[in-house]
Amino acid sequence: MKILAFNWKLNPLTEREALSLSSLSDRKDVILFPPAVFLDAIVQRTKRAEVGVQNLFWEAEGAFTGELSPVMAKSLGVRWALVGHSERRRYFEETDEMVNKKIKAAFAAGLNVILCVGEPRSVRERGIRAARAFIRKQLVSDLSGIRSSEFKGRDLAIAYEPIWAISEGAAHHPSDTPKDSAEMAKFIKQTLSPKPYPLNPKVLYGGSVNAKNIAAFLRPKEIDGVLIGGASLQKKELVKILSTKS
């Protein structure tokens, strides 16, 4: 079963719209990442899809105004945490060190993790070898010190999202090619297959996936699913995405 993960980012504006999107997407192969204020309502109403937080803090409780506790999320019935999304790294200055602490906190709270990695355009322009080196460095730093024992019973997936391929509202961004992203997925699996990462994580592709190109991204055996932003918020697109055979 290939995974369809939907990252709604800071959308939609109302709980009603959020519930309407989640009821359309309520399937076993779907993981929903709604804004935190809608988590409870969505967890209550979904039967098959799993639900995740788009971000979390590395402490469970305390004097940290405005933060989101992994333990509190877990107690609501949340199963997943998206960690290290490029928008968080960019707009909120999340470092690899912070990403690493967040992964540890998510696992400690009993959440599964989708770790997002991806190279900027300037790196990709230097070629595929430079992009691989960048991704390897991110993986090694982000997963540093995380022992296989900490992975036990948890799922770790890596979302490969080249930054230049992530859409930003109306601007048109081309996705990566299915061939190149499948090669990167293979590289990520190879990088993480020896100890101390024996879990063989699933690798998802993300970045301008839509109803037209999803089938091509789900075809390669190296790609275990997709992480979709903008297109998962448009009902017509969503219906087509959900009807794609994987």
Task: Write out the catalytic residue numbers.
Answer: 85, 161
Q: Does residue 207 touch ligand PGA according to CB under 6 A?
A: yes
Q: What would the x/- binding string for ligand PGA be over residues 27 to 66, using CB under 6 A?
A: ----------------------------------------
Q: Smallest gap, in angstroms, from Cβ of residue 213 to ligand PGA?
A: 10
Q: Smallest gap, in angstroms, from Cβ of residue 241 to ligand PGA?
A: 11
Sign of CA dihedral 51, 3, 156, 85: negative
Q: How far apart are CA 32 and CA 227, in angstroms?
A: 10
Q: Does residue 209 touch ligand PGA according to CB under 6 A?
A: yes
Pick between residue 144 and residue 167 the one whose CB is nearest to ligand PGA.
167
Q: Smallest gap, in angstroms, from Cβ of residue 95 to ligand PGA?
A: 19
235-242 vs 15-24: helix crossing angle, rounded to 10? 20
Choose among 246, 244, 237: nearest CA to 21. Answer: 237
Sequence-distant (6+) residues with CB within 8 A of 190 are: none
The answer to whether the beta carbons of residues 78 and 116 sit under 8 Å apart is no
Q: Smallest gap, in angstroms, from Cβ of residue 116 to ligand PGA?
A: 7
Q: Smallest gap, in angstroms, from Cβ of residue 175 to ligand PGA?
A: 8
DSSP-assigned states of every residue in 20-39: HHHHHT--TTEEEE--GGGH
Choose among 228, 244, 163, 242: nearest CA to 11. Answer: 228
Q: Does residue 208 touch ligand PGA according to CB under 6 A?
A: yes
Q: Which of 56, 139, 166, 204 binds ligand PGA (CB under 6 A)?
A: 166
Pick between residue 17 and residue 150 the one whose CB is nearest to ligand PGA.
17
Q: How far apart are CA 46 and CA 117, in angstroms?
A: 28
220-239 positions binding ligand PGA, by CB under 6 A: 227-231
Largest CA distance in the chain: 47
102-161 positions binding ligand PGA, by CB under 6 A: 161
Q: Does residue 178 touch ligand PGA according to CB under 6 A?
A: no
Q: Does residue 192 touch ligand PGA according to CB under 6 A?
A: no
- Whether the upstream peptide bond of residue 220 has omega within 30° of 0, thus cis, is no
Chain residues in the site for ligand PGA (CB under 6 A): 7, 161, 166-167, 206-209, 227-231
